[in-house]
Amino acid sequence: MGIEERKQREKNQRRNLILAAAMKIYEKDGYHGITMDKIAEAAELSRATLYLYFKTKDEILTHAILNFLDYFGQLLEELNAAINTHKADFLDALWDIFMKFYQQDPLAFGASLYFHQGEIIRSLAPELRSMLAEKGSMNYRSLCQIVQKGIDMGYLVPEDPRTLAEVIWSSFLGIVHLEHSKKAMGRKSHLEQSCSLALKALKKGLTRGDNKS
Residues 169-188: pLDDT tens digits?
999 999 998 988 887 788 88
- In the prediction, which pLDDT does 211 show? 66
Q: Which CATH superfamily is domain 56-212 in?
A: Tetracycline Repressor, domain 2 (1.10.357.10)
Instruction: Report helix angle 191-206 to 161-184, nearest 10.
Output: 160
Q: What pTM was estimated for this model as a whole?
A: 0.90
| Residues 99, 191: Cα–Cα separation, whole Å | 10
Architecture of domain 1-55: Orthogonal Bundle (1.10)
Q: Where in the chain is the domain with CATH 1.10.10.60?
A: 1-55
DSSP character at residue 55:
S
Residues 107-151: pLDDT tens digits?
999 999 999 888 889 999 999 999 999 999 999 999 999 999 999
| Cβ atoms of 66 and 135 closer than 8 Å | yes
| Residues 205, 193: Cα–Cα separation, whole Å | 19
